[in-house]
Chain A
Amino acid sequence: MSQSPVVRLQDVTKKIGSRTIIDRISLEVFPGEVFGFLGPNGSGKTTTIRMMVGLMSITAGDILIDGHSIRREFPKAIRHVGAIVENPELYRYLTGYQNLVHFARMVPGISRSRIDEVVRLVGMESRIHDKVKRYSLGMRQRLGVAQAVLHRPKLLVLDEPTNGLDPAGIRELRDYLRNLAREEGTAVFVSSHLLSEMELMCDRVAILQKGQVVDIRSIRREPETSEAVQDDVWFDVDRPEDALRVLDGLGKGRLEDGRLTVTADRRTVADINRRLVEAGFGVYGIRVKTKSLEDQFLEVTRGESVG
């Protein structure tokens, strides 16, 4: 990551009256990176995004996009940004195509063929000449993505982009965003309160709580399968207390919520299974308990309710 960041938040603070909504947030997003912005509802995700795209003023600090300050050089900074803030609200009385023409006119150099290309990209060819009021939420999301990428932005900002999408749509969007980051080097900034989703979509995640970034961490992409790695493994067995005794020091066994949990490498897991079966226990399931982002998130936010 020796490249210069596409967007840089520097001690960004937002106060409304005496209330501090956003408290000195600093972070950077690099080209080709999908960056997650994760936090419970009301933690300030949308406020931060609104400041990033210039819809809200910044009380203190600054946001630089491609080196231009969003406060002082708004047109230059926003030129490189495509965004959906909250829901993709488009002109309902216009067709999808007219909506795209509308936004294309506002940025120099977008040709009709680029519009057609984007329409194909989001798979809207058959419905693009229908009025937006006849679109489903999923289709409006697609059109929202289309207007956001029309001008080939260096930074794509999406606020809760999977809202209202069905599982297939979510998957499609995720693949599209990862592709965009990889192929075109676009920096993608996605907010969400859905942890599992961020885990699948993002390279790095910032965790936001009460207006402060409490943690920024990378997400492990490829799960390591090396023999030496110790995982927490759940064994679904009869009489877990007795089973724990039978293990007799194989792996690091304990009971969690009445379930037999063992920290062990792959080979030991197989040994434990054999021993349990030989001792007459029914083993109904063995599951690796990967430490998900959710656990990490709950750890960091100390179990405050999410969603």
Chain B
Amino acid sequence: MVDFLKLLQNENMKIYRRAATWVMFALVVGIPVMIALAVYLFTPGDRPSNWFITLIASNILINLVAIFTVVKAADSVAGEFSQGTIKLLLIRPWNRSTILLSKFLALILFGLIMTVTAFVASFVTGAAFFGYAGSPEDMGRDSPWTYMLLWYLYQFISIVVIATLAFMMSAVFRSSGLTIGLSIFLLFAGNIITSILMQLDKPFVKYVLFPHLQLATYLDGGPGPLPMYSLTLGFSLAVLGAYFLFFVAVAWLVFSRRDVS
């Protein structure tokens, strides 16, 4: 167990010893500050509540967090192949599955830290510029804490699924560039695909991955991503879970079996 933690420590070192990672964190902290500053300067009269700022900043940040996590996922396995370090990494007394697990956990941890940073940064800047309101009127909700925390939880679940998809592609293609390109394309095409799917009246539509990534549509008793199918949160979570397991299984099979050449 202690030994496995050392593998995790190694993977963390490979993430946090890179300048690019700190640029990512700087953006996640800097962007809400700029948003709050802009709103503060251009709305001299009727100021919004801190929660309104938090929600706006979060909506922007969460896309960024998803992209950054996907970039790290793409680099996780493929980066070792493109640098050639995989040949030194795999000739240690560890099974390939364990090494893959350490990479995956380090990635999820990175996504979690990013998500928490996004929440803290958008909350703190909101409160710093506009004061703290216990029950803001402009969000139309009694309990902004519950809403925002659930919102972040749902977004984090989506990020984990997307990151796992990127992680799988990283292991299959062994190319960071292809993986990053493809996953970011899917990330954005996801919304378009969802809106096209809404026009179709086919039974398979509710099993497609992309609509279910919009878990926040269930908040406040919402109907979910595809209103005409009367989906439930449980159903969406089950679909996401199934995709998650599939991605993990493919990544594991490919990584543990294939020759390294």
Q: CB within 8 Å of B: which residues of A?
A: 50, 53-57, 74-76, 78-79, 81, 83-87, 89-94, 98, 101-103, 105-108, 147
Contacts and interface: CB of A to CB of B under 8 A. Distances in A.
Contact of A90 (B19, B88, B95, B260): B88
A57 to B, nearest CB: 6
A102 B90 contact: no
A77 B18 CA distance: 33
Given A50-B261, A102-B10, A105-B10, 14 more contacts: A50-B259, A74-B95, A75-B95, A78-B93, A85-B88, A86-B87, A87-B84, A89-B85, A91-B14, A98-B17, A101-B13, A105-B6, A105-B7, A106-B10
Contacts of A105: 6-7, 9-10
Contacts of A91: 14, 83, 85
A185 to B, nearest CB: 21
Interface in B143-186: none
A10 B7 CA distance: 33
Contacts of B87: 55, 85-86, 89
Nearest to B6: A105
A292 B19 CA distance: 52
Contact of A89 (B13, B17, B88): B88
Contact of A81 (B7, B14, B19, B91): B91
A37 B255 CA distance: 29
Given A54-B91, A91-B83, A106 B7 contact: yes
20 contacts: A50-B261, A54-B90, A55-B87, A55-B90, A55-B259, A75-B94, A78-B91, A78-B93, A81-B91, A83-B88, A86-B87, A90-B85, A90-B88, A92-B83, A93-B17, A101-B13, A105-B9, A106-B7, A106-B93, A107-B92
A98 B83 contact: no
Contacts of A50: 259-261
Contacts of A147: 88
A137 B203 CA distance: 59
* Contact residues on B (Cβ < 8 Å of other chain), bracket: 20 to 34
B11 to A, nearest CB: 10
A108 B92 CA distance: 11
B51 to A, nearest CB: 39
Contacts of B259: 50, 55-57
Interface string B1-39: 001001101100110011100000000000000000000
A214 to B, nearest CB: 24
A107 B88 contact: no
A139 B175 CA distance: 27
Q: Counting chain A CB atoms within 10 Å of each CB, which of B6, B85, B88, B259 scores highest?
A: B88
A210 B87 CA distance: 24
Contacts of B17: 93-94, 98
Q: Counting chain A CB atoms within 10 Å of each CB, which of B83, B93, B95, B261 scores highest?
A: B93
A294 B198 CA distance: 73
A90 B84 CA distance: 8
A86 B259 CA distance: 15
A57 B85 CA distance: 19
Contacts of A85: 87-88, 91
A78 B89 CA distance: 12
Nearest to B260: A55
A98 B92 contact: no
A34 to B, nearest CB: 20
B6 A79 contact: no
A6 to B, nearest CB: 16
A274 to B, nearest CB: 60
Q: Counting chain B CB atoms within 10 Å of each CB, which of A79, A85, A147 scores highest?
A: A85
Contacts of B13: 94, 98, 101-102
Nearest to A52: B91
Interface string B63-106: 00000000000000000000111011011111100000000000
Contacts of B88: 83-85, 89-90, 103, 147
B146 to A, nearest CB: 41
Contacts of A84: 88
Nearest to A89: B84
Contacts of B6: 105-106
Nearest to B11: A102
Contacts of A98: 13, 17
